[in-house]
């Protein structure tokens, strides 16, 4: 759960003007949006507010905005009526204090909210059948029992249609402050109607012994800690090199805007780089658009474990407040996230986004031994990040900007493995403690990258390296070359990685050339990746079909925001990228959006337990002909510093 600061729910009539149309909603604007909807649409206490956020203005409005222009401020809301189960979308004009749009979304389930999780656990623990199931297992102290509600998914069961459901996992702490994830109570699965907050059934699959070891990780449980770690200080006595104005950031020729949504978390807008006295656009909007974690154990206790961490829960709502312990070092600038709880009350996640500079080793170097001189430059990067706790896992989402024009995106995965009692199926996991099986699983992240590379009209190429056949032109068999293939349409652009051809994809602006006559471009260089092991006919691949390809490309359409559709919670699937791209629209020399999916494959190790050392996954965006030469030639040398030893 995030640390929040609750504010008054009274609507403010004095909403301060903002300086830019992409500035996130302020607390006063959120209050006003909720109050306007309540007043105009008779929204009562039965309603929840899964989402209140900025309704982003049209792209043309943002790109043509000039300082001093009037800004039409709008809020986008999703509402859930617990009394009827109906879902609504609303657009509120904050400038006009009115509801501009109100529509019901039939058969759609919004994300599960933190308030629902807490209420669900209370309802389960109070249910006599659950208490009896615990007593059957010799568990009498319900204060040590943890009920962890999960999204139920969609597996085609008729009795689940039209209901808002959660299927709960249960655990038993060894002590009141212990690690409950180490001790699953397998065989007991409460199913709850979240609208009525009523337990529908207690699935009792059979008594399974609770794994015996507490497997603690907190410092208070460690018998001793290392004594040989000396302090490591990172200081910037003159302050950081970045400048911040509201949510607008400048650093080392980079500039961009920071946003934050309940679903995606951190969003970056209008990313550009200053080159030869002008700011050149690269990306209009960049975010992680969906994240799915499919587990690989087919047993009744586990087969439904396929979490859509954005569409079913919302990583922005689960963002850590870094007031509880920062994960960054140096001179740090924080940004708060203005959100709501499910009742529409403003809740501010303090210090949700962290920004700081890092030393990153050598930027470039050469030693000319004939002149007996060396030129070397230190690299530094700007890190912009947030961290979300999604049940057992922690995810750090990091954007890095480098002085040479490179952008990196990296997910840092840590936290606690999802485990089950060993039972009779250890082949689908790894034994990490006595009678405890850590389940095989994968993590898939889908990025939405709205390119505006030196303007809106872009194209994309696939680049593979090929070996020249031996012959008259290659008598010694050493020749190889890069082969570019234009991807002209949505169907042609559904691609997977191929490390054996060193495959990457290059976005270019065919209308702008560098001084060498080459189309300016940026390449997407894949990092670690994998494909899903789920069967093509499995429910999870019907719902998250975007996982079957690493690259998708679509023409820009403002409403196409999420690769598995707007409402994946309990949805049977087929929406999002697989549906949109059936039209096979042209993506040549147009305003295009690149969707890149990367997966982290996790066969657990004993060393990943009881808490997992951080794993890393991501990709790079690197300039290819975007600049006339190395843009980091003007980075000054670092003054030499004597060693203290």
Q: What is the pLDDT of residues 427-467, one digit of tens each?
A: 999 999 999 999 999 999 999 999 999 999 999 999 999 99
pLDDT at 239 over 60: yes
pLDDT of residue 426: 81
Indicate the pLDDT class of residue 425, thresholds 50, 70 and 90.
low
Q: How far apart are CA 127 and CA 31, in angstroms?
A: 36
What's the chain's average pLDDT? Answer: 95
Most confident stretch, 63-67, 255-259, 421-425? 255-259
Known catalytic residue: 393?
A: yes
Span 601-629, average pLDDT:
98
pLDDT in tens, 394-415: 999 999 999 999 999 999 999 9
> What is the reported pLDDT for 232?
87
- Which pLDDT score is estimated for 2? 39
Q: Which of 395, 291, 304, 397 is nearest to 354 (CA)?
A: 397
Domains of the chain, start order = 4-104 (3.10.450.40), 114-221 (3.10.450.40), 243-623 (2.70.98.20)
**2 vs 261 pLDDT, higher one:** 261
Judge whether residue 643 has pLDDT over 60: no
What pairs with residue 92 in β-bridges? 75, 99
pLDDT tens for each residue of 324-339? 777 788 899 999 999 9
- pTM for the model: 0.95
Residues 228-249 have a mean pLDDT of 93
At 136-148, the pLDDT tens digits run: 999 999 999 999 9
Contact 221, 316 (CB under 8 A): no
pLDDT, residue 234, reads 87
- List pLDDT tens digits, range 359-368: 999 999 999 9
Q: What per-residue confidence (pLDDT) applies to 328? A: 82
Which residue of the set 148, 297, 309, 566 is catalytic? 309
Task: Write the pLDDT tens digit of every residue in 525-541.
Answer: 999 999 999 999 999 99
The whole-number pLDDT of residue 204 equals 96
475-511, pLDDT tens digit by residue? 999 999 999 999 999 999 999 999 999 999 999 999 9
pLDDT score at 511 = 98
Query: Which segment of 19-28, 416-425, 432-441, 610-619 scores lowest on mean pLDDT?
Result: 416-425
Confidence of residue 13 (pLDDT cuts 50, 70, 90): very low
- Given a contact cutoff of 8 angstroms between Cβ atoms, the answer to whether 32 and 74 are in contact is no
Name the nearest CA neighbour of 263 among 58, 574, 562, 577. 562
- Please say if the pLDDT value at position 11 is more than 50: no
Q: Is the pLDDT of residue 286 over 60?
A: yes
In Å, how far are 476, 575, 599 from 314, measured between CA atoms?
56, 18, 19
What is the per-residue pLDDT for 100?
98
Helix (H) or strand (E) holding 116: helix 114-125
Residue 14 above 60 pLDDT? no
Q: 64 falls in which pLDDT band (50, 70, 90)?
A: very high
Is 309 noted as a catalytic residue in this protein? Answer: yes
- Write down the catalytic residue from 284, 393, 567, 596: 393
Confidence of residue 617 (pLDDT cuts 50, 70, 90): very high
pLDDT of residue 17: 72
SS (H, E, C) 162-184: CCCEEEEEEEECCCCCCCHHHCE
Q: Both tokens of residue 371?
A: 């002149």
Q: What is the pLDDT of residue 642?
A: 58
């Amino acid at each position: 759960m995030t640390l929040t600061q609750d504010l008054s729910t009274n609507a403010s009539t004095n909403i301060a003007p903002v300086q830019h149309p992409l500035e996130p909603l302020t607390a006063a604007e959120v209050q006003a949006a909720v109050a306007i909807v309540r007043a105009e649409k008779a929204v009562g206490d039965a309603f929840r507010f899964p989402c209140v956020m900025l309704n982003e203005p049209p792209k043309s409005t943002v790109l043509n905005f000039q300082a001093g222009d009037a800004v039409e401020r709008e809020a986008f809301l999703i509402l859930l009526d617990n009394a009827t189960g109906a879902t609504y979308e609303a657009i509120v004009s904050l400038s006009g204090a009115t509801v501009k749009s109100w529509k019901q979304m039939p058969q759609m389930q919004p994300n599960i909210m933190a308030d629902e999780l807490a209420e669900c656990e209370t309802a389960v623990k109070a249910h006599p059948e659950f208490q009896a199931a615990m007593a059957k297992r010799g568990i009498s102290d319900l204060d040590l029992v943890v009920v962890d509600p999960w999204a139920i998914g969609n597996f085609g069961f008729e009795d689940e249609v039209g209901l808002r459901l959660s299927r709960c996992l249960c655990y038993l702490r060894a002590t009141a402050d212990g690690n409950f994830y180490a001790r699953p109570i397998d065989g007991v699965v409460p199913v709850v109607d979240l609208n009525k907050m009523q337990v529908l059934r207690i699935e009792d699959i059979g008594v399974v012994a609770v794994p015996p070891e507490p497997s603690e990780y907190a410092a208070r449980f460690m018998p001793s800690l290392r004594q040989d770690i000396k302090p490591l200080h990172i200081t910037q006595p003159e302050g950081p090199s970045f400048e911040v104005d509201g949510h607008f950031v400048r650093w080392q020729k980079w500039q961009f805007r920071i946003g934050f949504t309940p679903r995606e978390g951190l969003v970056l807008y209008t990313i550009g780089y200053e080159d030869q006295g002008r700011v050149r656009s690269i990306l209009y909007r960049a975010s992680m658009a969906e994240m799915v974690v499919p587990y690989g154990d087919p047993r009744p206790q586990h087969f439904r474990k396929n979490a859509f961490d954005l569409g079913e829960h919302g990583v922005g709502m689960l963002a850590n407040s870094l007031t509880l312990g920062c994960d960054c070092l140096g001179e740090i600038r924080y940004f708060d996230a203005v959100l709501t709880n499910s009742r529409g009350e403003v809740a501010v996640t303090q210090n949700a986004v962290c920004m700081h500079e890092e030393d990153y080793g050598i930027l470039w170097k050469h030693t000319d031994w004939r002149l007996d001189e060396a030129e070397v430059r230190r690299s530094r990067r700007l890190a912009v990040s947030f961290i979300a706790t999604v049940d057992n896992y922690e995810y750090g989402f990091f954007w890095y900007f480098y002085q040479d024009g490179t952008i990196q995106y990296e997910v840092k995965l840590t936290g606690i493995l999802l485990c089950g009692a060993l039972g009779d199926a250890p082949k689908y996991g790894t034994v990490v403690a006595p009678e405890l099986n850590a389940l095989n699983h994968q993590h898939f992240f889908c990025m939405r990258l709205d390119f505006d590379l030196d303007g809106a009209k872009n194209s994309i190429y696939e680049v593979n390296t090929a070996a020249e056949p031996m012959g008259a032109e290659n008598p010694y068999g050493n020749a190889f070359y890069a082969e570019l293939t234009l991807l002209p349409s949505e169907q042609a652009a559904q691609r997977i990685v191929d490390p054996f051809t060193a495959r990457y994809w290059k976005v270019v602006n065919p209308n702008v050339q560098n001084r060498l006559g080459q189309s300016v471009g940026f390449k997407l260089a894949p990092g670690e990746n994998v494909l899903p092991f789920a069967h093509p006919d499995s429910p999870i691949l019907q719902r998250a079909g975007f996982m079957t390809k690493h690259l998708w490309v679509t023409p820009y359409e403002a409403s196409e925001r999420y690769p598995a559709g707007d409402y994946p919670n309990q949805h049977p699937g087929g929406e999002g990228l697989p549906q949109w791209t059936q039209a096979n629209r042209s993506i040549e020399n147009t305003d295009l959006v690149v969707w890149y999916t990367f997966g982290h494959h996790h066969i657990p190790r004993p060393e990943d337990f009881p808490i997992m050392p951080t794993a890393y996954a991501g990709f790079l965006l690197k300039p290819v002909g975007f600049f006339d030469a190395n843009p980091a030639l003007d980075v000054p040398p670092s003054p030499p510093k004597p060693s203290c030893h």
